[in-house]
Amino acid sequence: MSFTEPAGRQGSADYRWAQEASEPWLAQAATIPAEVARYFLVSARCGCFMQAARSLNVRSTLLRKQLAQLEQELQHTLFSFQGSALSLTREGQQLQAKLVALANERKLPVIEQPLIRLAVAESILHDILGRDLIALLRRNASVRLEIIALDSELSLRAVSADIVLWLAHGDTPYPGPTFAISKPQRLARLDYLPHIAKRYSRVTARPASAEDLADFMLVQWQHDRQIGSFQPWNQLVEQRLAGVVQMQSYELMLEMIRCSACIGLLPAYMSRFDRGLVALPGLFDEPMQLQAWLAVNAQTQTVEEVQALVELIHHTFDERHEWFQP
């Protein structure tokens, strides 16, 4: 026997009563814990246990265990696989409709996630932090995160964020953010050296002095022109009458070095990040260095999601501590 749902609130109530009379197990829907009901509804909407777990920020094994227990308690199969596609069974569709109706009646609020703004030096974002941020998003699809790339001292001073990760020359964190922040934490010292792609340079033909660079094209990221500690490199580039490329994009500068036989100034850790690049030490007498600093907005430093992201950043730098050794 089948029912056609009448229009109107009273008609809907009559339909649900008739449906529960023919399917008495549906009456248990009202007793399903809210968390389990949410697991079921998100899984039904996503059509994928893995994506549902990401959206809920839980382990997929926990999600599937809870749903298996739900099926056991209801004594009905709610999901089925058709090939590799996850779909609802007839009973699953009935439970979905019942839970949606109950949620509408209760007017359950949407759980809003706080917006976290992360401002980070562009090179650090690309080379060090990017992979762990991607892993974070793979685990938690409900996060609200705004990532701001800092490509100049001006952008650093103009930004307002919950977490700031920037580079400064010298032993102090200044110039730094202009808003109220927690005490800056020094994460690492970064040494900088000219780099070239291995495939474009035999060991015996690599430059051994700054004068030897005359035979190579140089590429410079425009941001580096502002950095006082890069004066030896910047002076060499400025004196060039030919064979030099100025780039606005950090990522494109890397591609120029990888693919165009150019030499460019990069952090000394770059050969660990990209095995195809090799550093050229000993070309300049003066060291070229920057310090990586981290600070948190004083107004949001106690927010749980902000603290979790700060822990992720510390973990990332701790894991890569060998990258920053002299």
Residues 237 and 263 in one domain: yes
**Is 3's pLDDT higher than 50?**
no
pLDDT digits (tens, 9 = 90+) for 179-201: 999 999 999 999 999 999 998 87
Instruction: Please tell me the predicted confidence (pLDDT) of residue 111.
Output: 65
* Long-range Cβ pairs for the range 150-156 (8 Å, 24+): 150/119, 150/120, 150/121, 150/122, 151/122, 151/223, 151/250, 152/223, 152/226, 153/226, 156/119
Residues 88 and 178 in one domain: no
Residues 212 and 261 in one domain: yes
Tally of domains in the chain: 2
Residues 147 and 266 in one domain: yes
| 273 part of a folded domain | yes
| Model confidence band, residue 27 (pLDDT cutoffs 50, 70, 90) | confident
**Is 6's pLDDT higher than 90?**
no
Residues 305 and 175 in one domain: yes
Instruction: Please tell me the predicted confidence (pLDDT) of residue 5.
Output: 43
Residues 190 and 248 in one domain: yes
Instruction: Please tell me the predicted confidence (pLDDT) of residue 100.
Output: 85
Residues 26 and 141 in one domain: no
**Is 286's pLDDT higher than 90?**
yes
Residues 207 and 99 in one domain: no
- Last residue of one domain, picked from the residues 81, 106, 131: 106
Residues 98 and 130 in one domain: no
| 1 part of a folded domain | no
Residues 61 and 208 in one domain: no
| Model confidence band, residue 9 (pLDDT cutoffs 50, 70, 90) | very low
pLDDT digits (tens, 9 = 90+) for 39-79: 999 999 988 998 888 888 888 999 999 999 999 999 999 99
Mean pLDDT of the chain: 88
| 232 part of a folded domain | yes
Instruction: Please tell me the predicted confidence (pLDDT) of residue 106.
Output: 61
Q: Please report, for the domain that includes residue 99, its CATH number.
A: 1.10.10.10
What's the whole-number mean pLDDT along residues 301-317?
Answer: 96
Instruction: Please tell me the predicted confidence (pLDDT) of residue 69.
Output: 94
- Last residue of one domain, picked from the residues 51, 76, 106: 106
pLDDT digits (tens, 9 = 90+) for 213-265: 998 999 999 999 989 999 999 999 999 999 999 999 999 999 999 998 899 99
- How are the residues of the chain apportioned to helix, strand and coil, as percentages rounded to the nearest 5? 50, 20, 30
Is the distance from CB of 277 to CB of 203 less than 8 angstroms?
no
| 4 part of a folded domain | no
Instruction: Please tell me the predicted confidence (pLDDT) of residue 4.
Output: 37
Residues 293 and 316 in one domain: yes
Q: Please report, for the domain that includes residue 213, its CATH number.
A: 3.40.190.290
Chain-centre distance of CA 151, in angstroms? 18
| Model confidence band, residue 317 (pLDDT cutoffs 50, 70, 90) | very high
pTM of the model: 0.71
| 3 part of a folded domain | no
| 180 part of a folded domain | yes
| 111 part of a folded domain | no
Host domain of residue 16: 9-106
Residues 26 and 123 in one domain: no
| 16 part of a folded domain | yes
- Last residue of one domain, picked from the residues 106, 131, 162: 106
Instruction: Please tell me the predicted confidence (pLDDT) of residue 195.
Output: 97
pLDDT digits (tens, 9 = 90+) for 98-156: 888 887 766 555 567 899 999 999 999 999 999 999 988 888 878 899 999 998 888 99
> Is-cis flag, bond preceding 175, omega within 30?
yes
